[in-house]
């Protein structure tokens, strides 16, 4: 079970069943199921899709996939920073990761990796990926394909996060990993209002690829990342 609510679904309610007049008792079921259960469930399901693209099969001539001919890990795609949702324990919401790729030619074997980090963070994302794949820094903020692909037809790829949890399709920042990314971003208090600061944990998703044959590229055709509360 991977939600934080008691029931892991929403209990139907109407305003009048919640609170309809002064001096009326507040029922324990209304409080427990409607308020407590639903608030937790809504907080669970509100996790946002942060990236979702599939390479175009048709359209403008500009290559619709991200590609590298590098035989070392090369950053092929980076999302803009986004304020990742934060759990109550200071870790980030998990990110559900889906990666699709292909090799330009069957003579190449290609690998893909994903790092949840931030540009300018104390640790370079590429270094984090290299060390996590090598096993010297176990971290579940890094995801890596299980095996190299030589398939030239775009396909979804299997992998694992490289930390102690070793998820199949999740990555996340622990509380300690998230701490360097905490910041206060300037924003108005309200429409046309005075300036204020909102605390955020700004993160980015870095996708890396490499090929074992520099003549033929590794192509990232699909990437999807969705926030997910995860296991309690």
Partner 1 sequence: MTYIPRNLLRTKPSYTLVNPGAPVRAAGTWRELADGIQWIAGKGACLVPWMNTSFQIAAGVTKTLRFRVRPRGKAIRRMWGLMLQPNTLSVDTSVTIRAPASTGTAVTVDLRHPGLFWQPFTYIEDLAAKSSTEQEISIDIASIGGTTNVLGVQCYEQDRSALNDDATDYGIRVETVVPRAPMIDVAQTSLRGVYDAFANMDARRVGILHLALDTSEAFTRTSTGFLKLTNLPYKIQVPKLNAGATTQAVYWSCYARMATSGGTGGSVRIVTTTSAVTDTATITGTTFAWITSRSINVACDNFATVDGFRDDELSIEIAGDGTRTVEVASVSIWVDSVA
Residue 60: CB minimum distance to partner 1, A: 5
Least Cα distance to 218 among 20, 65, 6, 27 occurs for: 65
Of 3 and 134, the one with the shorter C-beta distance to partner 1 is 3
Taking the complex as a whole, how short is the minimal distance between the CB of residue 165 and partner 1, in angstroms? 9
Least distance to partner 1 from the beta carbon of 136, Å? 25
- Shortest CB 91 distance to partner 1, Å: 10
- Smallest distance from the beta carbon of 181 to partner 1, in angstroms? 11
In terms of CB distance, is 7 or 107 closer to partner 1?
A: 7
Q: Using only C-alpha atoms, what is the Rg of the chain?
A: 21
b (16+ CB within 10 A) / e for 37-59: bbebbebbeebeebbeeebeeee
Sign of the CA dihedral running 206, 149, 54, 224:
negative
Q: Are the C-beta atoms of residues 111 and 217 closer than 8 Å to each other? A: no
Q: Which is nearer to partner 1, 176 or 190 (CB)?
A: 190
Instruction: Please say which residue, 78 or 131, places its beta carbon nearer to partner 1.
Output: 78
DSSP string, 57-95: SSSSSS-SSEEE--SS-EEEEEPPPEE--B-TTSPBPEE
Place of tokens 């996340």: 172
Residues forming beta bridges with residue 199, ordered by sequence position: 184
Q: Which is nearer to partner 1, 134 or 232 (CB)?
A: 232
Residue 19 or 136 with smaller CB distance to partner 1: 19
Enter the tokens of residue 103. 């090799």
């Amino acid at each position: 079970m991977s939600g934080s609510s008691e029931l892991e679904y929403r209990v139907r309610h109407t305003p009048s069943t919640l609170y309809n007049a002064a001096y009326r008792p507040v029922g324990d079921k209304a409080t427990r199921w409607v308020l407590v259960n639903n608030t937790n469930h809504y907080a669970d399901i509100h996790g946002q899709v942060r990236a979702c693209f599939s390479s175009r099969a048709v359209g403008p001539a500009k290559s619709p996939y991200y590609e590298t001919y590098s035989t070392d890990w090369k950053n092929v795609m980076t999302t803009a920073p986004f304020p990742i949702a934060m759990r109550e324990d200071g870790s980030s919401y998990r990110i559900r990761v889906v990666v699709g790729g292909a090799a330009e030619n069957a003579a190449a074997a290609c690998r893909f990796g994903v790092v949840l980090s931030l540009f300018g963070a104390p640790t370079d994302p590429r270094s984090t990926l290299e060390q996590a794949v090598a096993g010297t820094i176990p971290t579940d903020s890094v995801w890596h394909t299980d095996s190299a692909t030589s398939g030239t037809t775009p396909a979804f790829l299997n992998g694992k996060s490289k930390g102690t949890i070793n998820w199949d399709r999740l990555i996340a920042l622990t509380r300690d990993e998230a701490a360097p990314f905490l910041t206060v971003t300037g924003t108005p208090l309200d429409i046309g209002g005075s300036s204020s600061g909102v605390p955020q944990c700004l993160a980015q998703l870095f996708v890396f690829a490499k090929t074992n044959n520099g003549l033929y590229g590794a192509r990232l055709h699909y990437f999807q990342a969705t926030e997910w509360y995860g296991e309690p």
